[in-house]
Amino acid sequence: MTHNAVLRPEPLSASSSGKQKRANLRPAGLWQTVGPVAVFIALFALVAVLTPTFVTGGGLGILAVQAAPILLVALGQAMVLNLGSIDLSNAATVVLSAMILAQALEPLGPAAPLLTLVVVTLIGAVNGFLIAFGQIPSFALTLGTLGIVQAASLEVSHATTVYATANTDLLAPLFGTAIAGLPLAFWVGVVCAAVLWAVLRFTRSGQGMTAVGLNESGALFSGLRTRWLKVAAFALSGLLSGLAGVLVIAQAGAASSFGLGSDLLLPGITAAIVGGTAITGGVTNPINIVFGSLTVGLVPIGATAVGISPQAQSLVYGLVIIVAVALTMGRKRQGVVK
Q: Give the H or E element holding residue 254.
A: strand 254-255
Per-position b or e across 60-71, b if 16+ CB within 10 A of its CB: bbebbbbbbbbb
List, for residues 218-241, the tens digit of each pLDDT value: 888 888 899 999 999 999 999 999
| DSSP labels, 6-43 | HHSPPPP-HHHHHHHHHHHTSHHHHHHHHHHHHHHHHH
β-sheet bridge partners, residue 178: 183
* pLDDT given at position 29: 61
Residue 299 has pLDDT above 60, yes or no: yes
Give Rg (Cα) of the chain: 20
Q: Which helix (H) or strand (E) holds 267?
A: helix 265-274
- pLDDT score at 117: 97
Provide DSSP, 163-230: E--S-GGGTTHHHH-EETTEEHHHHHHHHHHHHHHHHHHHSHHHHHHHHHHH-HHHHHHTT--HHHHH
Q: Convert the pLDDT of each residue in 20-40 to its tens digit.
A: 445 444 555 666 678 788 888
Does residue 332 carry a pLDDT above 70?
Answer: no
Is the separation of the CB atoms in 220 and 214 below 8 Å?
Answer: no
Which parts of 59-137 fold into alpha helices (H)? Answer: 59-81, 90-108, 111-134
β-pairing, 162-163 with 178-179? unpaired
Report the alpha-carbon distance of residue 156 to residue 291 in Å, rounded.
35
Tell me, what's the pLDDT at 142? 96
Q: What is the pLDDT of residue 28?
A: 55
What is the H or E stretch that residue 162 is in?
strand 162-163
Bridge partners (DSSP) listed for residue 95: none
Number of residues written out for the chain: 338
Quote the pLDDT of residue 304. 74
pLDDT digits (tens, 9 = 90+) for 114-151: 999 999 999 999 999 999 999 999 999 999 999 999 99
Q: What is the reported pTM?
A: 0.86
How high is the pLDDT of residue 139?
94
